[in-house]
Amino acid sequence: MSEATGSPAVDWTAEWIGPAEEDRARAGDRPAYLLRRDFDLAAVPNMAWMHSTAHGVYECFLNGRRVGDMELTPGYTSYETRLQVQTYDIRDLLAPGRNRWEVLLSDGWYRGCNSINQMRDCYGTQVAFLAQLHLGEQVVATGPAWTCDVSQIVAADLMRGQTTDLRRLPDPVRPVQVRDMGTDTLCWSPAPPVRRVEEIRPVRIGTLAD
């Protein structure tokens, strides 16, 4: 996995998936979407990897635990010519029996506010996620078996900020939309990843007047 450029040596069986967004054209902030699917394992394999990328930014979770420590993946890029793929060792996150794979997906640089003019939809109008798990001889990939929902992050933008509503109850889940976006531009990242290096503690928590 040391290549800095070139198509990743992955036998892609995964399909690009994205949320059903009938109301995407409405004015206002766009949420982060929660994509998910369950899969079964007879036993945890000796080696297990995840290859993933997105049109947008993503975070992955296996059985409720965060995959890796990278932030803002897959990173800023010129989407027409190259799109970075991340690879994670996921063996310690798996369990025998039923496993749940969840993904938070939001606009990021792909279609969120960009540049000094804060223009939207600079690279595309539909967010999407592509990934597959290599679990020994078993492969679990993105495709039509996935479902989607709007997450409790009701607004997510790298320039306008994020709003989370913990009161929000899940909507009925819907099937994802499978999208034809191809894999010709996929490559390994030539740059070190973004990671959290410090946590800033609040000085105080106050209550504002009405």
Please give the structure tokens belonging to residue 97: 């029996």
The span from the CA of 120 to the CA of 102, in Å, is 26
Each residue's pLDDT tens digit, 3-53: 334 446 788 999 999 998 765 544 467 999 999 999 999 999 999 999 999
Please give the structure tokens belonging to residue 206: 């106050």
Each residue's pLDDT tens digit, 120-166: 888 999 999 999 999 999 999 999 999 999 999 999 999 999 999 99
With 0.85 as the threshold, say if the pTM is over it.
Answer: yes
Amino acid at residue number 26: R
What number is the average pLDDT over the span 53-78? Answer: 96
Average pLDDT, the chain: 90
186-188 vs 83-89, strand pairing mode: parallel
DSSP state of 4: S
Least confident of 84-93, 98-107, 153-162: 153-162
CA angle 176, 177, 179 (to 5 degrees): 135
Per-residue pLDDT for 177 more than 80?
Answer: yes
Quick one: pLDDT at residue 155? 93
Per-residue pLDDT for 185 more than 70?
Answer: yes
The span from the CA of 76 to the CA of 94, in Å, is 30
Tell me the CB-side half-sphere exposure of residue 32, using CA atoms within 13 A. Answer: 23
Quick one: pLDDT at residue 118? 85
Number of H helices, E strands in the chain: 1, 17
Quick one: pLDDT at residue 22? 61
Per-residue pLDDT for 110 more than 80?
Answer: yes
DSSP state of 24: T
Quick one: pLDDT at residue 1? 32
Quick one: pLDDT at residue 68? 95
Quick one: pLDDT at residue 28? 64
Tally of CB atoms within 10 A around 44: 16
